[in-house]
Amino acid sequence: MPRATNSPASRERRKRLLDKAKGYRGRRSKLFRYAKNAIMKSEYWSYRDRKTRKRNFRMLWVQRINAATRAHGITYSRFMEGLKSTGLGLDRKVLADIAVTDEAAFKAIVDRVVKALGEKSKAA
Amino acid at 50: R
Question: How would residue 44 be classed by pLDDT, with cut points 50, 70 and 90?
Answer: very high
Q: What is the pLDDT of residue 89?
A: 87
Q: What is the C-alpha separation between 69 and 48, in angstroms, rounded?
A: 32
Q: What is the pLDDT of residues 59-97, one digit of tens each?
A: 999 999 999 999 999 999 999 999 999 988 899 999 999
The residue-averaged pLDDT of 37-46 equals 97
State yes or no: pLDDT of 124 exceeds 70.
no
Burial class (CB in 10 A: 0-12, 13-18, 19+), 10: exposed
Dihedral sign for Cα atoms in the order 97, 101, 107, 112:
negative
Pick the CATH number of 8-123 from 1.10.1900.20, 3.60.130.10, 3.40.47.10, 3.30.460.10: 1.10.1900.20
Q: What are phi and psi of 22, to 5 degrees?
A: -60, 135
